[in-house]
Structure 1
Amino acid sequence: MAGTSGTAGPTEQAPPREPDWEGVRLHVVSGKGGTGKTTLAAALALALAAEGGRTLLIEVEGRQGIAELFRIAALPYEERRIATVTPAQLGLPGTGHGEVHALAIDTEQALLEYLEMFYKLGRAGKALQKVGFVDFATTVAPGVRDVLLTGKACEAARRKGPDGRRRYDAVVMDAPPTGRLTRFLNVNSEVAGLARIGPIHSQAQAVMRVLRSAETAVHFTTLLEEMPVQETVDGIAELRESGLPVGGVLVNMVRPPILDAAAVAAADGDHREEVALALGEAGLGGRSRKPETVRANVDPLLEPLLEQAREHAERVELERSQRVDLQQLRLPTYELPLIGEGVDLAGLYRLAGELKRQGAA
């Protein structure tokens, strides 16, 4: 399976793979809450920029998660550079000096921008803002809000500079969670009942042309746990039914192997005597040579160790079964390591290196 790192977990010394997503300019990242969606979207943006590219990382939920990750002030409604990146920073060979820019889309500002662009409202638009029209419009017609949010990302993905070149080599959108994703992306059907002609209708169609094109890929973040994997499977099925392009699966927080296969298999049995003997031989029974003294010192350690071994064996079996479910999707799959005490900037760059190494960027 393309991009997968197998059952042994991420391998930091593996040589980089060829990228799986050549030609994709808009990477949409979704996933169940708690799977690290924003973190992996940011890591993907870094990985895509590593060899001298320029990426735009877009946040659409108003949580300022990007600012928190990069340890910067809250992002305004404007594109600004938040990071630079080189292959060396990701632990990879190569040259280049890339940039990551970020944008936190404010729905209110996006609607005012839209009204100015298509209707030339200017000051009248600000007056509408004061009387609460903007909140009313986006609450009563959430499809309009989604057109504005997705439209901004699609515009950025296709925007060109004065020299005729694309402003950004790639755009990464930190999208809503899996449960709301298909409705969020399928803006054409969401606004069909609101506007069958006019600028909103045209904008929705333009957005869908980008979202359904080969320039877009929708990636899913998950953990090797039942609920996130099932939500991923369901989300991918919904996306396929809607004709939207499915990308890869980013498996986050993969634990490193602790016991080998034989030890995992043995953990289910009753091995108190063997473990007690091994602990004694390792010197954990104290200095005394008397068997009864050694055993008295070892016994308090036995049950906690055996319980941990059983829990680990159960976890390994759960992860194995979830990997089987993910393999049946037949999609490129990338495994990212569990980073102990949360992800700091160093950890973010480490994850970006893993994504680059495994061919996600």
Structure 2
Amino acid sequence: MSSTALHVVTGKGGTGKTTTAVALALALADRGQRVLVCEVEGRQGIAQLLDVAPLPYEERRVATGLGGGEVFALAIDAESALLEYLDMFYRLGRAGKALDRFGVIDFATTIAPGVRDVLLTGKIYEIARRRGQHQDTGPLYDAIVIDAPPTGRITRFLNVSAEVAGLAKVGPIRRQSDAITEMMRSEATRVHLVTVLEEMPVQETLDGIAELHAAGLPVGHVVVNLVRAALVSDETAAALEDGILDAAAVAGVLTGAGLDPDVAAALLAGGRGHLERQALQQSQRDLLAADATPTVELPVVERTDLGGLLELAGLLREGSLA
């Protein structure tokens, strides 16, 4: 039987991690295929992006994918996952809810962050193992996309066996964490890192790639988001850099077009600033290229509604992420 493909999307805050995760889910939802996109940070970013009601702790259909398949979404929180875990393995339905009222569950998931990650990833593990209506029909979902924690925490989040080693040597928590780690390191899993072409996000991405490799976790693509296209031609850029295109020349063109020539200096300053930003983008692009991890670039889109997300989904598919 086939296994569910698992795509983990991480990135520094502000790089568009959630947008990329949702766009990837839309790209993966081919005809007849079912894709689940889930978040684990309690931000309800997926719901806000798709303009739907806040997601509950249950799978809900939220969109039609790029190829006509179905996209479902889920918000996973550690407290609900622990209550479900207690009920599933220890039949502590009412007793578990009583613990929740007394704050025991919140205390347990706060005092032991490694256990919290086991609960969050454990829910994903449980969903990935679910079968369709019949055991021989394959997995319930063809792919699961995780809007995961930021790059600086992603290795600890996925490498749960190492994180709980000091807390649980044996027992159900240890068995669960070992099974999750095995899934995260499997051939069906890929960790994608979202960045923008700026120094800090790129460096964090490169550090994250190194940490993931060191932990034996599979790196997929680097998604370079919010790429700004060049606004001037190569000829104009060369003229600006060489000083051939000066204020007098620009003022003459503006006057001939019936425009205010006094803005010539401001236009030149804006053009030079644009070239500097383009040069910075290229220098960071070169750093990523030197790492040899496959990359795909996404432009700044005018809107982040479903139409804009589908546009990004098409680019992700072209970049072989789906």
Confirm or deny a common fold (TM above 0.5). Answer: yes
- Stretches of structure 2 lacking an aligned partner (at least 5 in a row): none
Q: How does 1:259-270 map to 2 (within 5 A)?
A: 259-270=232-243
Q: Is the 8 A contact 1:118 1:199 kept in 2?
A: no
1:184 deviates by 1.0
Count residues in correspondence.
319
Whether the 8 Å CA contact 1:147–1:203 is kept in 2: the answer is yes
1:10-63: CA deviations, max 9, x gaps? Answer: xxxxxxxxxxxx987000000000000000000000000033311000100000
Q: Give the aligned partner of residue 291 of structure 2.
A: 329
User: What is the aligned partner in structure 2 of residue 109 from structure 1?
Assistant: 80
**Post-superposition offset of 1:285:** 6.5
Q: Counterpart in 2 of 1:243? A: 216
Q: Report deviation, 1:182.
A: 0.9
Q: Secondary structure at the match of 2:241?
A: coil
Q: How does 1:268-283 map to 2 (within 5 A)?
A: 268-271=241-244, 273=246, 276-277=248-249, 279-281=251-253, 283=255
Counterpart for residue 60 of structure 1? 40
Preserved CA contact (<8 Å) 2:28 2:66: no
2:15 maps to which of 35, 47, 55: 35
Task: Give me the whole-angstrom Cα distance separating, in 1, the residues matched to 2:57 and 2:4.
Answer: 25
Q: CA deviation at 1:276?
A: 2.8
Q: 1:158 aligns with which of 111, 118, 129?
A: 129
Quote the sequence identity (%): 57
CA 1:86–1:177: 2 relative to 1, 3 Å = closer
**1:313-335 deviations in whole A, cap 9, x for unaligned?**
11111111111111112122111
Decide which of 118, 125, 133 is 2:104's aligned counterpart: 133
Equivalence map 1:331-346=2 (5 Å): 331-340=293-302, 342-346=303-307
Does the alignment pair 1:305 with 2:267? yes
Which residue is 2:321 aligned to?
Answer: 360
Aligned to 1:348: 309
Say whether the 8 Å CA contact 1:272–1:302 is kept in structure 2: no
Q: Which has the higher helix share?
A: 2
User: C-alpha deviations, 1:197-228, integer Å up to 9, x for none?
Assistant: 11000000000110011111000000011111
Matched-pair contact (CA < 8 Å) for 2:83–2:97: yes
Trace 1:281-296 onto structure 2 (pairs within 5 A): 281=253, 283-284=255-256, 286=258
Q: 2:226 aligns with which of 249, 253, 268?
A: 253
Contact 2:28 / 2:65 at 8 angstroms: preserved in 1?
A: no
Give secondary structure in 2 for the equivalent of 1:73.
Answer: coil
| Residue number in structure 2 paired with 1:185 | 158
Q: Which residue of 2 aligns with 1:231?
A: 204
Residue equivalent to 1:294: none
Query: Partners in 1 of 2:3 and 2:230 — Cα distance?
Result: 35
Distance 2:184 2:65 in 1: 28
- Give the Å deviation of 1:257: 1.8
> CA 1:23–1:199 in 2, change beyond 3 Å: closer, same or farther?
closer
Per the TM alignment, residue 272 of structure 1 is displaced from its structure 2 partner at its CA by 5.4
* Partner-residue secondary structure (3-state), 2:291: coil
Q: Which residue of structure 1 aligns with residue 89 of structure 2?
A: 118
Query: CA 1:283–1:122 in 2, change beyond 3 Å: closer, same or farther?
Result: same
Aligned to 2:142: 169
CA distance in 2, matches of 1:57, 1:102: 5
Residue 149 of structure 1: aligned partner = 120
Distance in 2 separating the partners of 1:35 and 1:337: 12
1:217 is aligned to 190
Tell me which amino acid in the other structure corresponds to 2:88: M
> Are residues 35 and 180 of structure 1, via their aligned partners in 2, closer, same or farther at CA, if it must alter by over 3 Å?
same
Amino acid at match of 1:27: H
Q: Distance in 1 between matches of 2:21 and 2:258?
A: 51
d(CA) in 2 for partners of 1:124, 1:158: 27
Larger Rg: 1
Q: How far apart are residue 281 of structure 1 and its match?
A: 4.3
Aligned counterpart, 1:6: none
Between the two structures, name the one with larger relative contact order (CA 8 Å, sep ≥ 6): 1
Which stretches in structure 1 are left out of the alignment for 5+ residues? 1-21, 88-96, 288-296
Gap change, CA 1:200 and 1:305, over 3 Å in 2: same
Q: CA RMSD in A?
A: 1.9
Moved more, 170-179 or 347-356: 347-356
CA contact (8 A) 2:3 2:139 kept: no
Contact 2:66 2:310 in 1 (8 A): no
Cα gap change, 1:137 to 1:205, in 2 (>3 Å)? same
**Cα gap change, 1:281/1:308 in structure 2, threshold over 3 Å: closer, same or farther?**
closer
For normalisation by structure 1, the TM-score amounts to 0.84
The separation in 1 between residues aligned to 2:287 and 2:66, in whole angstroms, is 35
* Equivalent AA in structure 2 for residue 135 of structure 1: D
Q: Match for residue 81 of structure 1?
A: 61
